[in-house]
Amino acid sequence: MDVHDLGEGEPEVAVVGAIHGDEPCGARAVRRLLDADLDVERPVRLIVANEEALDAEVRYLDADLNRSFPGDPDAEAHEERLAAEVLDALDGCTTLAIHSTQSYAEPFAVVDSMDEVARAVAPHLPVDAVIQTDAFTEGRLIEHPHTLEVEAGLQGSDGAADNAYWLSRAFLAATGVTPAPGAESVVDAGGREDVAVFRLRERIPKPDAEVYEVFARNFERVEAGEPFAAADDEQLRADEPFYPVLLSPYGYRDQFGYVADRVGTIE
């Protein structure tokens, strides 16, 4: 784990990248933040978490770090030990954890629940949607207080790395660490109105097949009876209307993604 502290005193805000080693956008954003020589008004901690997996260009070495929290410092698995180290480093911090996905090119935010931190920070991020995942957070970093995740874009892309940097800058401005880019003081970094909130309801399992396809678009309503995916030559149709989230043909081993409900907006 690579940790950098900026500012005077114990950090109160943190940005974490490379929880997954095959998602380099967060690490690239952290390095760009360091190179930017930021003038910070609150102390902040920047972390590249799973350096070993990042160097090996694999998601993880022994176990998925984002399913291993709170971790165990005496565990045999590298990521279970690392999870305990990461949580210790984040103690007392409002945290942004940066990820990327195989399913969607535009950035969106992920929270455990719509607490006061999510409501205060999410509208100031350059995202058009917030996903509430309270039913699917076991072992994930966002299960812990004052933590938001962002999906910065398509895994391994330059676009995701650029999005990750600007998401980080907006987060640092929203939490009072830095002035908003181009401003002389800490100001509203958002400019988004009515950010849609979706709540994950259930997983969409994959039947056994050789070839998978996805027809639906993430965050766009699928009507009852409409085909949304296919396994070989078999089309899968919606039993009832839903919003697909993290839907992709090969992003997950055993599921297409998630069924979600649109539950409101953040203004």
Shared-domain flag, residues 162 and 230: no
> Which residue has better confidence, 253 or 214?
214
pTM exceeding 0.85: yes
Mean pLDDT of the 196-200 span: 94
CB 252 within 8 A of CB 186: no
Residue-wise pLDDT for 64-121, tens only, equals 999 999 999 999 999 999 999 999 999 999 999 999 999 899 999 999 988 888 888 9
Does residue 42 sit in the same domain as residue 143? yes
- Same domain? For 13 and 103 the reply is yes
Q: Are residues 75 and 154 in the same domain?
A: yes
In a domain, 61, yes or no: yes
Choosing from 112, 140, 175, the residue where a domain stops is 175
Q: In the predicted model, what is the mean pLDDT of the chain?
A: 92
**pLDDT at position 265, please?**
86
| 154 and 28 belong to one structural domain | yes
**Number of structural domains in the chain:** 2
Query: For 159-173, what is each residue's pLDDT tens digit?
Result: 999 999 999 999 999
pLDDT in tens, 115-150: 888 888 988 899 989 999 988 888 999 988 899 999
Answer for the pair 247, 116: CB distance below 8 angstroms, yes or no.
Answer: no
- What is the full DSSP assignment across the chain? -EEEEESSSS-SEEEEE-SSTT-THHHHHHHHHHHTT---SS-EEEEE--HHHHHHTSS-SSS-GGGSTT--TT-SSHHHHHHHHHHHHTTT-EEEEEEEESS-SS-EEEESS--HHHHHHGGGSS-SEEEE-GGG-TT-GGGSTTEEEEEEEETT-HHHHHHHHHHHHHHHHHTTSSPPTT-SS--------SEEEEEEEEEEEPPS-S-EEE-S-TTSPBPTT-EEEEETTEEEE-SS-BEEES--SSSSSSEEEEEEEEEEEE-
144 and 45 inside one domain:
yes
Judged against a pLDDT cut of 70, whether residue 62 lies above it is answered with yes
Give residue 55's pLDDT: 97
CATH of the domain at 100: 3.40.630.10
- Residue 45 sits in the same domain as residue 99: yes
The answer to whether residue 191 is domain-embedded is: no
* Domain that residue 35 falls in: 2-175
| Peptide bond before residue 70 is cis, with ω within 30 degrees of 0 | yes
Q: Residue 40: is its pLDDT beyond 90?
A: yes
Q: Are residues 237 and 122 in the same domain?
A: no
Domain containing 245 — which CATH number?
A: 2.40.50
Per-residue model confidence (pLDDT) at position 189: 44
Rounded average pLDDT over 20-29:
98
pLDDT of 117 reads 84
- Asked if 205 and 171 sit in the same domain, the reply is no
Q: Residue 13, Cβ neighbours under 10 Å: how many?
A: 25
Quick one: 112 and 218 in the same domain?
Answer: no
Mean pLDDT along residues 174-202: 73
